Structure 1
Amino acid sequence: MVDIRSFGAVPGNTSVAAALANARAVELAVQAAAAKGEAALVPRGLSFDLLPVHVTGVHGAWLHLEGNLSAHANISDWGGSKKTKFPSLITFLACEGVTITANASSPAAIVGNGYDWWWARLLNDLSYAPNLVYVQNCTDVLIDGVRTENSPRFNFYLLEVKRVEVRFVTVWTDLEGQRQGLEAAGHWDAAGRLPTFPLNTDGIDVCGQDVWVHDVEITNWDDALCVKPCRELTWGCSSNHTYENAVIHFGVGASVGSVPPSARVNCVRDILFRNITFESPTKAIYLKSNGGDVGTAVVEDVTYEHIRATGSVWYPVYLGPQQQKEPDGRGDGWWPPTNPLVSFRNITMRDVQFDDVIWPQAGVLRCNASNPCTGVVLEDMTISGWNATEWVCEHASGHATDVTPQPQCLAPTQRPGHLQVPDTTVASASTDGSRQPKPHKRL
């Protein structure tokens, strides 16, 4: 392995000069290691302060963590202004073969130091904050064993990627620290025990093709696992994803979207979420359109199966327009109109159990009158709570089999022997559209 210190990285120093030197050292070490078919090493037991790293056009880029990479904490040293879209802490762009690994025996992490960024956004001093790991226009991506902490924004944002595996990853957000800040800024609903502005600390967000995310644990207050749309006419549909064997604490769901219309057709297709357990989620199953009046979008062939949740504090199931309002005024609010330019087709939820739901409604299926949701199938679903007895159910067609409570806009059916045994086979999203076991990549 190629130690980043051999290119001038300085551990234990939080000065601007050290953060810049460390960023350059990571870039050079990744390039040098790739030329030899090796990994750039962040050495064990050390922490390196960091300003943004950019790795572009490298074949076989590999970053291995045994120590910490820590985002430089002083926001003013990042430059920019209120409307600046800050660069991510670590960016891989246009690379073939991107690998980010960490040893399970090592306490290594990518540390976001997000507190000051959260405060700046809550006070409307900044509209944006940096992601921790951003990968765009790359192929053959493996992220294995990595832990992230307190990201200013998204933890992992993978955009326009192909052949991706994310495994054994831990995303951790200091929810108590976020709660205190949210309360102080007036963005906390004490009665409902949830944030009214969740700080956009998404876990793993992906726009791409042939994606397998598995065996992950996520603690946050925004989308935990999220399929982002890709533009079908210019890059291709975001398609053939499997997300499985995940444990999510709090969070706003295993999500699709948000999906606005686009002249280039925003598209999500052939998505599977399975074997996912939620603890006290804000939402659990979440498919969301967004506003816009140009172009079209489609979300189709999405399946959720073997889903469990306890203590859902808001709608455990939500299909409809995104509910969001940013401190700077962006976002359509908490009950925006549906969008006729976004189509939802063939959405299946199977073997789903939500217990101790706090919100007084079981779920939302809220579609557009002129462009209804079609092929909505609910099977073997139980949603129980102190008053979760009804759905908001508008302009959706399909059927509900052995569902309690029954959504009134879907045709009820009943069949004997409906109890299913979960399929726990670890499977991948393969290029031929099937989901077959996939060999592990290098470590």
Structure 2
Amino acid sequence: MRMLFALLWAPAAARELSITDFGAVPGGANNATAAFENGKALYDALRAARKGDVVVVPSQRFVMVPYAPLYGLEHVELRLEGCLAAYEPPQGEHAKVWPFYLGNFESLITIHLSSHVTVSGGGALDGRGHNWWVAFARNKLASKRPMLLQIDGSTDIVVRDITMLDSPRFNLYLGSYCKRVLVERVTILADWAAQAALQKSVPMFPFNTDGIDVAGRDVTIRDIVVSNYDDVVAVKAADLLSDKTGAVPGCTQNVTIYNTTVYRGAGLSIGSVHPSPLKPCVGVGRGQLLY
């Protein structure tokens, strides 16, 4: 009887869920309908994942539009063996085909209020940001551009062994007081030559394609390679969004950054953005920066 009880309560074995099992179709065609279906397949796979499961993006290229933000993921890995590439909206049609989240264009992947989530696998997120940069430079966008990977209000997060390419705006955003985060062996590249060419026709440069933006505590960033012609790492104040308890979380602190290789970038920015004019909020703790 005791053995039967133990078997009934044994945790389910971890599974690998491929996004192709949920309808994702690889290919490089820039088709809005197919991109929407691929975004939905990614969303459905991650929502179907149980604790310990791995959601796999196979070693192919999948063009996508984000379907919806992901809330409440727990003990899940997103393994990028291939590439998730953003659908590239035609000029003037960004708002027609790209969804919004909290008043801004939704990031390619948004993870909110989650814990023990890993994004890894050796693959890539490709933002295909050139058309977004052009629209931004010409003041044709009414909302902020999407980011590649946005993680808000989450704990025990690992982002490792991925490449992030040509994000429309920030590449990796760790906001709303993320805690216990490890970012390692991540490569971030923006087509600086394309951005520089745009500078000839518009009076602005760079295009706010930050590498990693951090607002939280107990964050380690190491062994990264960045060429983005903007802030490599921007350590920002924790914003005023409440956590699950309804309390304002506090200041950004205990951020460690080391073994950073920068080819074209503006280095480290600390405390340049405050949550309010009256509350500077980046704590000086046990952080260090070692290039």
**TM-score normalised to structure 1 length:** 0.56
Q: What is the match of residue 163 of structure 1? A: 180
Answer yes or no: is 1:87 the counterpart of 2:95. no
Structure 2 distance, partners of 1:178, 1:259, is 24
2:53 is aligned to 38
- Mark the CA change 1:271 to 1:112 in structure 2 (over 3 Å): closer, same or farther: farther
Larger radius of gyration: 1
- Deviation (angstroms), 1:259: 2.9
- Residues in 1 aligned to 2:77 and 2:264: alpha-carbon distance in whole angstroms: 32
Deviation at 1:24, TM superposition (A): 1.3
Tell me which residue corresponds to 1:123: 138
1:53-132 correspondence to structure 2 within 5 Å: 53=67, 54-74=69-89, 75=94, 76-78=96-98, 85-103=104-122, 108-126=123-141, 128-132=144-148
The alignment status of 1:204 with 2:223, answered yes or no, reads no
Within 5 Å, give how 1:256-335 maps onto structure 2: 256-260=270-274, 262=276, 265-269=279-283, 270=285, 272-276=287-291
Where 1:10 maps in the other structure, the secondary structure is coil
User: Is the 2:119–2:159 contact (alpha carbons within 8 Å) kept by the matching residues of 1?
Assistant: yes
CA separation of 1:264 and 1:162: change in aligned 2, threshold 3 A: farther
Residue 49 of structure 1: aligned partner: 63
TM-aligned CA deviation for residue 271 of structure 1: 5.5
Say if 1:27 and 1:181 are closer, same or farther in 2 by CA, change over 3 A. same
Q: Report the alpha carbon displacement of residue 58 of structure 1 after superposing the two structures with TM.
A: 1.6
Query: Whose helix proportion is higher, 1 or 2?
Result: 2
CA distance in 2, matches of 1:215, 1:152: 24
> Which digits, 9 at most, give the CA deviation of each residue in 1:38-58, with x for residues without a partner?
2100001x1111111421112
- Alignment partner of 2:200: what SS? helix
Farther-moved stretch of structure 1 (175-184 vs 267-276): 267-276
Report the Cα distance in structure 1 between the residues aligned to 2:119 and 2:201, rounded to whole angstroms. 37
Q: Post-superposition shift, 1:231? A: 4.9
Letter in 1 for 2:256: T
Letter in 1 for 2:274: P
Aligned residues: 258
Q: Distance in 1 between matches of 2:249 and 2:154?
A: 12
Question: Compared with structure 1, are the counterparts of its residues 102 and 261 closer, same or farther at alpha carbon in structure 2 (3 Å cutoff)?
Answer: closer
Instruction: Give the Cα–Cα distance (whole angstroms) in 1 for the partners of residues 46 and 30 of structure 2.
Output: 22
Picking from 157, 160, 163, the partner of 1:147 is: 163
> Which residue is equivalent to 2:199?
182
**SS at 1:48's partner residue?**
strand
> What SS does structure 2 have at the residue aligned with 1:120?
helix
Query: Which position in structure 1 is the counterpart of 2:36?
Result: 20
**Residue type at the aligned position of 1:21:** E
Match in the other structure for 1:216 = 224
Aligned equivalent of 2:8: none
Aligned residue type for 1:73? E
Return the alpha-carbon distance in structure 2 between the equivalents of residues 69 and 261 of structure 1. Answer: 32
Give the drift of 1:61.
2.9
| Structure 2 match to 1:5 | 20
Q: CA-to-partner distance for each residue in 1:258-289, whole Å, 9 max, x for gaps?
A: 2336278341112633321xxxxxxxxxxxxx
Whole-angstrom distance in 2 between the partners of 1:261 and 1:29? 35
Query: Relative to 1, partners in 2 of residues 1:79 and 1:215: Cα closer, same or farther, differing over 3 Å?
Result: closer
Following superposition of structure 1 onto structure 2, how do residues 386-405 of structure 1 map, counting pairs within 5 Å?
A: none
Unpaired segments ≥5 residues, structure 1? 188-195, 277-443
Whether 1:137 aligns to 2:156 is no
CA displacement at 1:77 relative to structure 2: 1.5
- Quick one: which amino acid aligns to residue 85 of structure 1? N
Post-superposition offset of 1:184: 2.5
- CA deviation after TM superposition for structure 1 residue 67, in Å: 0.7
Q: Which residue of 1 aligns with 2:9?
A: none
Provide the secondary structure at the position in 2 that maps to 1:99.
strand
Relative to structure 1, the CA distance from residue 260 to residue 63 in structure 2 (aligned partners, 3 Å threshold; closer, same or farther) is same
Which stretch shows the higher mean deviation, 57-66 or 208-217?
A: 57-66
Percent identity, aligned pairs only, is 37
> In the alignment, which residue of structure 2 is the partner of 1:357?
none
Partner residue in 2 for 1:415: none
Moved over 6 A (4+): none
8 Å contact from structure 2 (residues 215, 239) kept in 1: no
What secondary structure does 1:6 align onto? helix
Which residue, out of 240, 244, 249, partners 1:235?
249
Aligned AA (2:270)? V
2:51–2:76 Cα contact (<8 Å) kept:
no
Q: Which residue of 1 aligns with 2:10?
A: none
Residue in structure 1 matching 2:258, options 222, 234, 244: 244
Give the distance between the partners of 1:125 and 1:111, measured in 2 at CA.
22
